[in-house]
C-alpha cells in the first residue's frame, strides 16, 4: 500500500476548504475573532466577482458574496478535490474544460443579451462542470510531483 504525501493531503484539505469560502462571511459574522476572516473573504470576492445580489444564491437568509456561477466554480473545484474521480489524462482534461467552456458560453451570452433572465441552477451547474475536473487534476498532479521528489 502506498503512503500518501502529507503535503498532498494538506493540499486536498485546503482545496475543499476553498469550496466553502462563499459561506465564510455569513458564518463568521457573529463569531468574535473570526469576523476578520469574513471581511478578508469579502474583499477577495469583491476583487474576483461582480457580486450581483440578483444572481446570487441565498444562504441563511442572506445572499452569498459571489454570484451563483462563481459559487458553482468554488463548489465544483472543492468537490473534484474531495472525490478525485475521474482521473483524466491531460488531453481529456483539456477536452472537458474546453467543452464546459463552450457550453457555458451560450448561457453567458443569452443572459447578457437579455434573451432570458439569470437562472441560478444553470449558473451553478455551468460553473461546477467547468471547475470540477480542475480540482481533480490539481490534486493528482501534486501527488505525482511530490511522489517524484
Cell numbers linked to 91: 488531453
* Residue with cell string 521528489: 149
Three-state DSSP class for 57?
A: coil
Q: Is the pLDDT of residue 3 over 70?
A: no
Beta strands in 9-137 (DSSP E): 58-59, 62-63
Please write the tens of the pLDDT for every residue from 50-98.
888 889 999 989 899 999 999 999 999 999 999 999 989 999 999 999 9
Which residue in 130, 128, 125 sits closest to 93, CA to CA? 130
Please write the tens of the pLDDT for every residue from 18-60.
999 999 999 888 788 888 898 999 999 999 888 888 899 999 8
Distances 134 to 35, 64, 83, 111 between C-alpha atoms, Å? 30, 23, 12, 25
Q: Is the pLDDT of residue 1 over 60?
A: no
CA separation for the pair 23, 38 (Å, rounded): 9
Residues present in the chain in total? 149
CA separation for the pair 140, 81 (Å, rounded): 9
Beta strands in 47-123 (DSSP E): 58-59, 62-63
CB atoms within 10 A of CB 47: 8
Please write the tens of the pLDDT for every residue from 125-142.
999 999 999 999 999 999
Question: Which of 1-10, 69-78, 119-128 has the lowest average pLDDT?
Answer: 1-10
CA separation for the pair 21, 64 (Å, rounded): 10
CA separation for the pair 138, 87 (Å, rounded): 11
Domain boundaries, the chain: 6-148
Per-residue confidence (pLDDT) for residue 128, from 0 to 100: 97
Please write the tens of the pLDDT for every residue from 97-111.
999 999 999 999 999
Amino acid at each position: 500500500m502506498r503512503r500518501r504525501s502529507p503535503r498532498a493531503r494538506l493540499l486536498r484539505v485546503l482545496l475543499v476548504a476553498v469550496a466553502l469560502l462563499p459561506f465564510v462571511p455569513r458564518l463568521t459574522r457573529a463569531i468574535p475573532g473570526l469576523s476578520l476572516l469574513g471581511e478578508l473573504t469579502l474583499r477577495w470576492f469583491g476583487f474576483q466577482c461582480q457580486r450581483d445580489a440578483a444572481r446570487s444564491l441565498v444562504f441563511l437568509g442572506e445572499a452569498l458574496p459571489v454570484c451563483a456561477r462563481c459559487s458553482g466554480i468554488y463548489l465544483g473545484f472543492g468537490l473534484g478535490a474531495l472525490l478525485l474521480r475521474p482521473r483524466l489524462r491531460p488531453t481529456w482534461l483539456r477536452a472537458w474544460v474546453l467543452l464546459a467552456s463552450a457550453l457555458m458560453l451560450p448561457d453567458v451570452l443569452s443572459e447578457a443579451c437579455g434573451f432570458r433572465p439569470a437562472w441560478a441552477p444553470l449558473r451553478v451547474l455551468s460553473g461546477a462542470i467547468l471547475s470540477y475536473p480542475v480540482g481533480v487534476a490539481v490534486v493528482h498532479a501534486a501527488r505525482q510531483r511530490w511522489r517524484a521528489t
